[in-house]
Amino acid sequence: MGKKENDKLCIMIIPHTAKVKKFSIPSWLPKVVSIAIGLIILFLSLFISNLHNSYESLKEKYNIKAAQVNALKAENDKKNFQIFNLKSENDKLREKSAEIDYKLMEIDKLQRELEKIAGIQSPSRGKLLTKTQGLQDTESTDELRILIDTLDLKKKELQDFIVDIEERFEYLETIPDLWPTHGRLTSKFGMRQNPLGRGRQFHYGIDIANSSGTNIVASAKGIVIFSGYKRGYGRTVILDHENGYKTLYAHNSKVLVSVGDRVEKGQLIAKMGSTGRSTGSHLHFEIHENDKPIDPLTILK
Ligand SMILES: [Zn+2]
């Protein structure tokens, strides 16, 4: 019995009032229980430590992620700033483009004025070569490309126009439309009473009277084909403008150019006088077109 009795433990609960309660449990149970508790504690502490490690690793991961998020945020801010800058660049570009467009229109206006002055048309023939309007929605790069193309076209057009104008001015230089002197217009082109005799005769030029020695200038650019004394005309200069026009300057007191000289429009060529068949100091001025005298007043400006 003894050994069997030893294998059991007796637990008695003695309340104040009721009967004593008595349990008997196997004697190994406390040991097993304490080992189990020990194991549970060990397990729990391992679990906690594991949990702690997991937490630490999660925290670390979170920190890494947070750092990445911050980096992304910074990147985003940078991008936003760049976008803002690009937008303002774009705005500036649009502003510039509008400015250039305005300048192009101004150039066009000037061209039209020059056309009127020179009496010619520029190569664009009145077409406006400004940037197409209503391109506000296009990409600024497209707009820039269009603008560059337009500017390129305009440059070529202006180069051609300048050549045209130069040629035109070169031609205008040879048109005898400059008054050869200043003074009083005393006689016009056409039939008139002979001032030195009887009857009527044809006057092949105009007379401009002023004091002796008044400057006489070339009415247009040309070459001197006569310079000297001519019967009736006195001291005379004749210019060939090499475009069908010739001009004659008569009754001078002095001639200042020689045959073969090239003269510019407005260049001093003689001094007014009264040589030849003349009643007083004046210039007798003739314009010949294809060797026929024409009324100078139809050309002089
Ligand atoms: Zn005359």
Residue 161 Cα, ligand 1 centroid: separation in angstroms? 42
Q: Domain 184-298 carries which CATH code?
A: 2.70.70.10
pLDDT at 137: 56
Residue 225 Cα, ligand 1 centroid: separation in angstroms? 20
pLDDT at 1: 40
The CA distances from residue 301 to 175, 179, 188, 215, in Å, are 11, 7, 15, 18
Report the interhelical angle of 140-173 vs 29-118 (nearest 10°).
Answer: 10
Residue 67 Cα, ligand 1 centroid: separation in angstroms? 104
pLDDT at 127: 56
Residue 203 Cα, ligand 1 centroid: separation in angstroms? 6
Contact (Cβ atoms closer than 8 angstroms) between residue 252 and residue 216:
yes
Residue 275 Cα, ligand 1 centroid: separation in angstroms? 12
Instruction: Give the list of residues 6+ apart from residue 52 with CB closer than 8 angstroms, or none.
Output: none
* Every domain of the chain and the residues it spans: 2-68, 90-173, 184-298
pLDDT of 140 > 70? The answer is no
User: What is the pLDDT of the chain when averaged over all its residues?
Assistant: 86
When mean pLDDT is compared over 69-73, 84-88, 259-263, the highest value belongs to: 259-263
Residue 249 Cα, ligand 1 centroid: separation in angstroms? 10
Residue 206 Cα, ligand 1 centroid: separation in angstroms? 5
pLDDT of 188 > 60? The answer is yes
